Amino acid sequence: MPLSRSDISRILKMDYKFKDFAARTEEGWRLRNRSGRCVFLSEKGCRIYTQRPEGCQLYPLVYDEASHKAVLDHLCPHSHEFQPTEKEMKELMILLDDLATDRGSERPDL
């Protein structure tokens, strides 16, 4: 899951160490995975649910680069349960703009 500067800031305020949850990729900063799963996912669910990244909050709404629009992730087994609102679609586009601005930066200055 991509991480914006505000996502990173929120998680750091919960006393998590940057190196323990963030991984740098060509696209920018992402949540670190362990064994193919988010580092914050436990048997009881998300350990940072109330402060989870914006992308997690909007999921299963994702941006489809082929069609250039917001769509429900076909890989999500529960996507049929969601009906994205216009507000959520706008929030996704704002998040994508924020992530594009952050892309390429070293550890974000927070």
Question: Using 50, 70 and 90 to split pLDDT, how confident is the model at 108?
Answer: low
Instruction: Give the per-residue pLDDT at 26.
Output: 87
Name the residue ranges covered by the structural domains of the chain: 5-102
Looking up tokens 């709404």 gives 61
Instruction: Give the per-residue pLDDT at 42.
Output: 94
Question: Using 50, 70 and 90 to split pLDDT, how confident is the model at 107?
Answer: low
* Other CB atoms within 10 A of residue 99 CB: 21
Does residue 110 have a pLDDT over 80? Answer: no
Instruction: Give the per-residue pLDDT at 27.
Output: 86
- pTM equals 0.84
